[in-house]
Amino acid sequence: MNIIPKITPIYQTSVFKFEDLDAVQQYFDEPGSRYLYSRNGNPNSDELADAVNRWEGGAGAVATGSGMAAIFAALMTYCQAGDHVLCAADIYGGSAALLNQELARLGVSVSYVPFEELYNLRPYVQASTKLLLCETMSNPLLRVVDLRAMATECHQHNLKLVIDNTFATPVLTKPLAYGADLVLHSVTKYLAGHSDVTAGAVVARTAEDAARLRQIGTVFGLTLSPMESWLSVRGMKTMRLRVAAHSHNAQQVAEFLEVHPTVEAVYYPGLLTHPQHVLAATQGHGLFSGMLSFRLPDDVAVVNRFMQRSQRFPFAPSLAGVDSSCSHPLYTSHRALTEEQQAALGITVGLIRLSVGIEPVEELLADLAHALA
């Protein structure tokens, strides 16, 4: 019998067998020829890493147990005790928590750079500054970073540029092509796309950094399980179609909210009124993702009423699944920011973030009309 599956089976094993000493010697002499132990490498996690690496156009990648593990692995690729990093002030709350609460304790310090000052880093750079971390499209205000200008500015100061590309996805934007050094994902979001897996990935522009990433993934134990890898690979097969559908729906939702009398502001790069609309259109190849935020009056009762009345946007503090959801930055994702950081970003109780799914858009618009009435 010759079994040749079309789809990679799930190699649900923690370890692999060797015939003899020659076989184990071959594992070390010919990298990639065999597997040893799943934390070091597994056919399923390698398939996911290769898929993300191909999409992003990198020299190598590692799949990680979560997006947070991906951020940690990326920072560890370049940093050691005594180093300093720059981070865009508009950043995922977990990234801020990692930097403020954990890496600070290990001797890696951080300075936050306001969005308007990202292309003029001189006042922020110290002798020990190693890198800048930012997001292609920020959460929750959907500010868009000019990646080419950002890479030029970083490299002028001898800094590595690390991009969290979770919101944009490589369907819109491939940061390595603009000069970024590492690009990372919460695979949990658009790459897997079905809200049923927690995973991450980091892709390197150079083979040297890719080898560092693999070492870090293995020895810190950040790598991903076979089952989660398999689900992520399956999700990624429809990513191009899903992200286009998410984007088209979000555009219509944003246009609907923009003229709604109860809505005070809408943040979506696809709107002509968005400050980086032209940049976003170019860098995103005409797609703007399924993520948007809008502002209701700063009144807990008003926000609660919206959440209670909406059927199609359940309050579920994640994003990018095929089903729509809403989240609340102040109460969930951006809780860990200091009050100062929250105020500077305008993260108040009235700010709601939608993750627009791929349902028929008329149903989504009808639901929002009902919830806001």
Ligand X SMILES: *Cc1c(COP(=O)(O)O)cnc(C)c1O
Binders of ligand X in range 107-166 (CB under 6 A) = 135, 139, 164, 166
Binding flag, residue 186, ligand X (CB under 6 A): yes
* Residue 291 CB, nearest approach to ligand X (Å): 9
Binding flag, residue 188, ligand X (CB under 6 A): yes
Of 189, 212, 242, 312, the active-site residue reads 189
* Residue 68 CB, nearest approach to ligand X (Å): 4
Binding flag, residue 200, ligand X (CB under 6 A): yes
68 vs 266, beta carbon nearer ligand X: 68
Could you tell me the two tokens for 222? 């950040």
Distance of CA 119 to the CA centre of its chain: 22
Cα separation, 86 vs 204, in Å, equals 19
Active site residue 92: yes
What are the respective helix, strand and coil percentages of the chain, to the nearest 5?
A: 40, 15, 45
Sign of CA dihedral 93, 94, 96, 97: positive
- Of the candidates 198, 225, 324, 325, which one interacts with ligand X according to CB under 6 A? 198
DSSP state of 49: H
60 vs 200, beta carbon nearer ligand X: 200
Q: Which are the contacts of 193, defined by CB distance < 8 A and separation ≥ 6?
A: 235, 236, 238, 239, 242, 320, 321, 322
* Residue 95 CB, nearest approach to ligand X (Å): 6
74 vs 303, beta carbon nearer ligand X: 74
Of 92, 112, 124, 178, the active-site residue reads 92
SS3 assignment, position 12:
coil
Of 34, 35, 39, 309, the active-site residue reads 39
- DSSP track, 256-313: HHHT-TT--EEE-TTSTTSTTHHHHHHHTTT---SEEEEE--S-HHHHHHHHHH-SSS
Active site residue 39: yes
- DSSP track, 82-129: T-EEEEESS--HHHHHIIIIIIGGGT-EEEEE-GGGTT--GGG--TTE
Applying CB under 6 A, the span of 60-68, 113-121, 210-218, 347-355 interacting with ligand X comes to: 60-68
Site string for ligand X, 64-93 (x = CB under 6 A): --xxx-----------------------x-
Cα separation, 171 vs 190, in Å, equals 10
Active site residue 17: no
Of 83, 90, 164, 209, the active-site residue reads 164
* Residue 338 CB, nearest approach to ligand X (Å): 19
Binding site for ligand X (CB under 6 A): 66-68, 92, 94, 135, 139, 164, 166-167, 186, 188-189, 198, 200
Show which residues are catalytic: 39, 92, 164, 189
